[in-house]
Structure 1
Amino acid sequence: MREGIAQDGELSAYWRWRAKPYGIESPYDLLTEVARYDLTGVLDRITVPLLVTSPEGEHFWPGQARRLYEALPGEKAFVEFTAAEGADLHCEPLGRALFEQRVFDWLAARLGVTA
């Protein structure tokens, strides 16, 4: 993987950007580390209210937000973002204002804040 990534400048830059938060340079070590991020064994212990967001066209983890939501035992909300709203794709890149409005409205309702 390291050799293949090194042969493509754009891919190499992308890989470095994605790996930077972990401080890991080796593709194998990075993938091994990321594989540890699995909530399956602790989902039943999550009891705080949780907001799960799901953008239409999620290309990294399609369907994962819905599976997480359905597995959570406590108070929860599921908010979808659509292409029609301009808030689709991973992290709603073109609909950040809408995303933030919905998240902050949810938080305000939980915290009893009024406008």
Structure 2
Amino acid sequence: MADTSQEPSTDREFLAESARYSFKDGSAAKITCPVLVCEATADLFYSATGESDPRKLYRHVTAPKKLLSFTEEEGGDAHCHPGAIRLAVAGIFDWLDDTI
């Protein structure tokens, strides 16, 4: 295992380090900065049944937070919101304007 006392220096090290975190270990509750969570309602990469991973993260974060949920009607229901890039970017920048 890589030395965790230093920041990951490669993409591979970053992915290996990020895999150590889960909703069950309390990591999300340790976040102290404002958090924006974006959700695509038909995302193929996250939980399709039950509570989605973005919603789980949102529920576990205790810092100031906002959830943006993009839908089929908006064209943003797929992973990374390819049908609604302008809408997603506008929402992200609006959050940044309000938060920073």
Output the TM-score relative to the length of structure 1: 0.64
Which has the larger Rg? 1
- Tell me which of the two structures has the higher relative contact order, counting C-alpha pairs closer than 8 angstroms and 6 or more residues apart: 2
Q: Judge which range, 66-75 or 37-46, deviates more.
A: 37-46
Counterpart position of 2:32: 47
Structure 1 residues without counterparts, runs of 5 or longer: 1-20, 24-29
- RMSD value over aligned CA atoms? 2.2
More helix by share: 1
Runs of 4+ in structure 1 off by over 2 angstroms are 37-41
Structure 2 residues without counterparts, runs of 5 or longer: 1-10
Structure 1 pair 99/38, CA: closer, same or farther in 2 (3 Å)?
A: same
CA deviations over 1:24-83 (Å, ceiling 9, x no partner)? xxxxxx8xx487252433222101110101011011112000000000011101110011
Query: Which one of the candidate residues 7, 12, 18 is aligned to 1:22?
Result: 12
| Separation in 2, partners of 1:39, 1:90 | 20
